[in-house]
Amino acid sequence: MIQIKDIKQAKNKAKISMLTAYSYPLARIIDKAGIDIILVGDSLANVVLGMDSTREVTMSDMLRHTQAVVRGVEHALVVGDMPYVAYQEDIKLAVENAKKFIQAGCAAVKVEWFEDCLEVVKLLRKENIQVMAHIGLTPQTVEKLGGFKTQGKDLETAKKLIDQALRLEKQGCFAIVLECVPDRVAGLITKKINAPTIGIGSGLYCDGQVLVTHDMLGIFDRYTPKFVKKYADLSNEILKAVTSFKDEVSNGVYPDKKHSFAISDEEFEKLQQEEG
Ligand code: KIV
């Protein structure tokens, strides 16, 4: 089982891989592939529950899916993504909600940057809860960032990100996700902090990379950010399979003998004699 210390020690030695999972079967596959960290992301809202914003997802949605993921994982470090309602509406709820993720089997929780983020991290660390931070493009407060845009593209905003990363590390975060940060700015942040950085749309100079699994497998086809590389086109594969099923049902091809159960001739004859 991968531990927090393994992730910290990976810095400057090995690249860290992280993917999201929301269900038992996908968690099993991702774990089997040897991915280091599985994030039960609040992207659950968009890619599984069909919501428009990650702000809509509830603690009970997140916990239900976390429990399913944890059941499927033997090796990876599981991180639970704190939904907006768990800490941003009222920071006094943060500890109680983070503990629910830990009780569900997570090794840590992730929180997105917002004005009281450092205070939240402080409260969590005081309770010895491991925290991964998320800066740059933070979807829970996207309207304050002017929409889904690259963050840190000029001197002032890049310096703000560096400052956030340094302060989050000082407050005890074990890793920091950098979302949609220019590659060289992400590289500079990576050099300046000892905690590993995990990039999403932030280029090659981070200590690790994360993608939303439903994006990289091509399951979620409503929109695809520029940085997503599709490693499979499962939505087309699924469409092909489901269409074949429909055709075979319509044509009476499925189920054939191989996919049916039999009764012996002798027993069936007796049955027919009694029941016509
Ligand atoms: O919710 C999520 O999937 C995330 C990743 C994009 C890092 O926060």
pLDDT at 222 over 90: no
Look at residue 271 in the predicted model and tell me its pLDDT. 98
CATH 3.20.20.60 domain extents, the chain: 4-232
Cβ atoms of 55 and 140 closer than 8 Å:
yes
pLDDT tens digits for 190-205? Answer: 999 999 999 999 999 9
Q: What is the mean pLDDT of residues 172-177?
A: 98
Instruction: Give me the DSSP letters along 97-114.
Output: HHHHHHHTT-SEEEEE--
Model confidence pLDDT, tens digit, residues 56-74? 999 999 999 999 999 999 9
CB 174 within 8 A of CB 131: yes
Judge whether residue 223 has pLDDT over 90: no
Cα–Cα distance list, 4 to 31, 132, 155, 162, 173 (Å): 16, 10, 33, 23, 11
What mean pLDDT is reported for the chain? 97
> Are the beta carbons of 136 and 202 closer than 8 angstroms?
yes
pLDDT at 276: 80
Give the phi and the psi of residue 267 in degrees, each rounded to 5. -65, -40
The reported pTM is 0.96
Residues with CB under 6 A from ligand 1: 20, 39, 41-43, 81, 134, 177, 200, 210, 212
d(CA 83, CA 225): 21
Are the CB atoms for 105 and 67 separated by under 8 Å?
yes
Give the angle 88-91-95 at the CA atoms, nearest 5°. 115
* Interval between CA 134 and ligand 1 midpoint (Å): 9
Query: Measured between alpha carbons, how far is residue 111 from residues 34, 40, 175, 177, 228 in Å?
Result: 24, 12, 11, 10, 22
What pLDDT does 148 receive? 95
Residue carrying the six token digits 């520029």: 226
Q: Whose alpha carbon is nearest atom 4 of ligand 1?
A: 41
CA atoms of 70 and 106, how far apart (whole Å): 7
Atom 8, ligand 1: which residue's CA is nearest?
Answer: 41
Of all residues in the chain, the percent with pLDDT exceeding 70 is 100
DSSP annotation of 75: S
Fold that domain 4-232 belongs to in CATH: TIM Barrel (3.20.20)
For residue range 70-115, list pLDDT tens digits in order. Answer: 999 999 999 999 999 999 999 999 999 999 999 999 999 999 999 9
212 CA from centroid of ligand 1 (Å) = 6
In testing the pocket of ligand 1, which one of 39, 134, 176 has its CB within 8 Å of the most ligand atoms? 39
> Catalytic site residues?
179
pLDDT of residue 221: 85
Q: Assign 3-class secondary structure to 223-259.
A: CCCCCCCCCCCHHHHHHHHHHHHHHHHHCCCCCCHHH
